Amino acid sequence: MDLRSARFAAAFTLATLFAAPALADGVVNVYSYRQPDLIKPVLDAFTADTGIKTEVLFLDKGLEDRILAEGQNSPADVILTVDISRLTNAKEKGVTQALDDATVNANLPAEYRDPEGHWFGLTKRARVLYASKERVGDEPIAYADLADPKWKGKICMRSGQHDYNLALFAAAIAHWGEAKTEEWMKGLKANLARKPEGGDRPQAKAIFAGECDIALGNTYYVGLMQTNEKEPEEKEWAGAIKVVFPTFENGGTHVNISGAALAKNAPNRDNAVKLIQFLSSHKAQQIYAEQVFEYPVEPGLEPSAVVKGFGTLEADTLPLADIAKNRKAASEMVDRVGLDDGPSS
């Protein structure tokens, strides 16, 4: 059995195990793209407050298809995932239902909620620059500056088709329009030090190794590297970089979210709503954000000490639903420009 088949079998087994008690009182079933250890503290806090137990099914892919296959008998109550693309994909595939809840709406700013109530942002992460402490000064850097020839041969990034970069490019389209964004992307491509590859953390490694001076990355990876006791070399990578918050012309830095959605056929709907209400609360946002090195979405709620150490985030207020509308155009643009082919193509 290959790895993919093994994971699918494991997922099916877990789903079967808790499908039977799905209608029992005091239970809420969570389907998650987030690693169980990342969400356990906040789910434990929910159980401590309400007495409602949580059962978690983790999948690294195919979550929406799994719920579709289960149909009306799906035990899924709440979906937890990251990135606006995955949240909107769940909505588009028809595995979520609308929730118009006064408590949730009051806790979460409108720009981090689906206008139709199909998903809710709980914590946010910024798409920033990792910059060499040794080779990059303290001058501010805007997103537009990434196309400046002064950075030729000095930028690293992961694939332009990755969800994190597509969201940034979609935001650029929302701010600048397609024509200007495409010219900018051509400039970004010309400034790459190498063909896009790896994840966000390997970009910090490349800066540490002197292969490039700046790289696109998410804020929370810096926290993960700084605190990685199992792989101490990552602490060295993190030690070689500083976080720079690039901005659009409105002075805001692009952010994405970790979020939740109410499953379409939630058998424990009342408990599911209670969980989403709790996850939107001041207390839960602090627990969750600290665990995953992200920022609470509640205005004025302080991030953890580690996250504060990155610097001050002034988040772009562009509604994430507007960004999601440009995702397809952004993906097509990446291919048209040949961004993933690297600088010499």
Count each helix (H run) and each strand (E run) in the chain, helices first: 15, 10
Same fold, 3-124+256-304 and 125-253+315-341: yes
- For residue 344, what pLDDT band results from cuts at 50, 70 and 90? confident
Q: SS3 of 283, please?
A: helix
Q: What's the CATH fold of domain 3-124+256-304?
A: D-Maltodextrin-Binding Protein; domain 2 (3.40.190)
Model confidence band, residue 247 (pLDDT cutoffs 50, 70, 90) = very high
- Out of 17-26, 46-55, 244-253, which region has the weakest mean confidence (pLDDT)? 17-26
| CA atoms lying within 13 Å on the CB side of residue 162 | 16
Q: What is the mean pLDDT of the chain?
A: 92
Residue 71 tokens, joined = 């149909």
* pLDDT surpasses 60 at 24: no
Q: Confirm if 170 and 274 have CB atoms less than 8 A apart.
A: no
pLDDT, tens digit, 9 for 90 and up, residues 54-63: 999 999 999 9
3-state secondary structure of 134: coil
Long-range contacts of 107-110 (CB under 8 A, 24+ apart): 107/280, 107/281, 107/282, 107/298, 108/280, 108/297, 108/298, 109/297, 109/298, 109/299, 110/319
Domain ranges of the chain: 3-124+256-304, 125-253+315-341
Note the pLDDT of residue 220.
Answer: 96
pLDDT at position 321: 93
Grade residue 10 by pLDDT with cuts at 50, 70 and 90: very low
Pick among 3.10.20.30, 3.40.50.2300, 3.30.1360.200, 3.40.190.10: CATH of 125-253+315-341: 3.40.190.10
pLDDT tens digits along 94-130: 999 999 999 999 999 999 999 999 999 999 999 999 9
Question: What average pLDDT does this structure show over 1-26?
Answer: 45
Rounded to 5 degrees, φ, ψ at 95 are: -105, 10
Strands (E), the chain: 27-32, 53-58, 78-82, 96-97, 120-132, 155-156, 214-218, 241-244, 255-263, 295-296
Would you say residue 33 has pLDDT above 90? Answer: yes
